[in-house]
Structure 1
């Protein structure tokens, strides 16, 4: 415990989404609570005030420190305000975790231009905006950025969502570019999340299918025979945010049960 003692972590998309089957939780919630359990002061950013407050309540009930900020991660003004408020109220910023994303099903011939642009806005622009606002503050404290990307950014995962896959691939290269540009001042890494059992799976990918059938199909797609949990990703984020990863930057860390390594 205490791997983030004395640090301030800003978690974009950290609200608790209660829309999935029992036992599922979101990556943002899992990461916020994990960071707090290891000593961080966590600022939970979400556009849903209720979701943000649910995460804050969970952190405080466990004895941690957290506060909520309502903001849209695709709004330049709101992202800048969230970062400025964090620095003002907590004296600085050490960790930024980007966990905002949306996956819309539909092949390239099915997508409208507006739908394509929406995928890029949510999945890529949000990372750009948080980095632009936070990097000057992170550089003062040799902080870090940890972004949730996807195995879909480097291979076919069985789902037709080209806008999501392309945006996440751009997130990977943005991560690498920033890592080199800010080397020695800010560490910048990304997690390639695979088949993770979160509420958004059932809200964005399942359609009208029975949740048990959705879970069984996704389990079967994984080389391990089971999906990962949000905490599998959160634990990787904790490592990348901690001093144990002090010499790790520009990494794209797969957390996918080996999905990235499978040829078919």
Structure 2
């Protein structure tokens, strides 16, 4: 069901002129889709607040699509996108060097990359386990490893990581590696916030639930029966609010955390799920 309330694009004047580095910025799905992925929607809302966007994605065409949509809304937006594999340490180092060369600073780091894989502890191969941990958790470490020293020199910074409700409870789908990695992202986020808080660097994370993004459409149209079944179960949800959130709902949480409006929020997990993790109803997949 479509959200019964209109989209809201809040304004945070303190964000104007800041620089945001966003991983996983690519927009997937049909070019004319009215929906935005979490990373693309976050870039959209930040851009509307005057933030300079430097984004990356494994698929450059997807990143370019996001840039195109942002410029369609605001021809004066400052948007750069590059291809980056966050599982490649050299790629990540080059990414951070590129944003510094372009803007000279990183005020906001948004670790948005994520990928799930089906498997329980008995049938998940060690190779799949390692890959899931790498892309969902180690990528967060890699970006923070290079960006935190920059934020320390600046005397300020803001890190927002993307977790998942699978980190908080079992939702009926065997994805042990993904759930473990996302749970670790929450712990990494909170510990980092404590370690760097006195240096005016905050670290928080958003915890999205079952969101209606272009990725859901991709699942529905996939040749993989497992993907199509996953899409069906997502769409047949039992969210207490009666409708699924969108990428903009995630973006609103991220941008609030990036702004001065949340200045005293640190080491926090902001759950954005319409109440589904507290629901005792069925409908999880």
Quick check: 1:259 aligned with 2:280? no
TM-score, structure 1 length as denominator? Answer: 0.92
For the 8 Å contact 2:219–2:227, the answer to whether it is kept is no
Q: 2:209 aligns with which of 177, 187, 194?
A: 194
Q: 1:62 aligns with which of 67, 73, 86?
A: 73
1:227 counterpart residue number: 244
Instruction: Give 1:213 deviation, angstroms.
Output: 8.9
Quick check: 1:165 aligned with 2:182? no
Alignment of 1:137-156 (within 5 A): 137-139=150-152, 140-156=154-170
Answer with 196-205 or 87-96: which moved more.
Answer: 196-205
Residues 92, 217 of structure 1: alpha-carbon distance in 2 compared, 3 angstrom cutoff? closer
| Unpaired segments ≥5 residues, structure 1 | none
Q: 1:103 aligns with which of 116, 124, 133?
A: 116
1:87 counterpart residue number: 100
1:239 counterpart residue number: 256
Aligned partners of 2:280, 2:182: CA distance in 1, in Å?
Answer: 20
Answer with 248-257 or 74-83: which moved more.
Answer: 74-83
- What is the total number of aligned residue pairs between the two structures? 264
Aligned partners of 2:230, 2:193: CA distance in 1, in Å?
Answer: 40
For the 8 Å contact 1:104–1:204, the answer to whether it is kept is no
TM-score, structure 2 length as denominator? Answer: 0.85
Q: Secondary structure at the match of 2:197?
A: coil
Quick check: 1:115 aligned with 2:115? no
Deviations 1:166-193 (CA, angstroms, capped at 9, x unpaired): 0000101100110000013210000111
Q: 1:33 aligns with which of 38, 44, 47?
A: 44
| Unpaired segments ≥5 residues, structure 2 | 1-10
Deviations 1:24-81 (CA, angstroms, capped at 9, x unpaired): 4311111111111111000011121111111111122222210112111111111111
Q: Quote the RMSD (CA, aligned, Å).
A: 2.3
For the 8 Å contact 1:189–1:240, the answer to whether it is kept is yes
For the 8 Å contact 2:56–2:84, the answer to whether it is kept is yes
1:208 counterpart residue number: 225
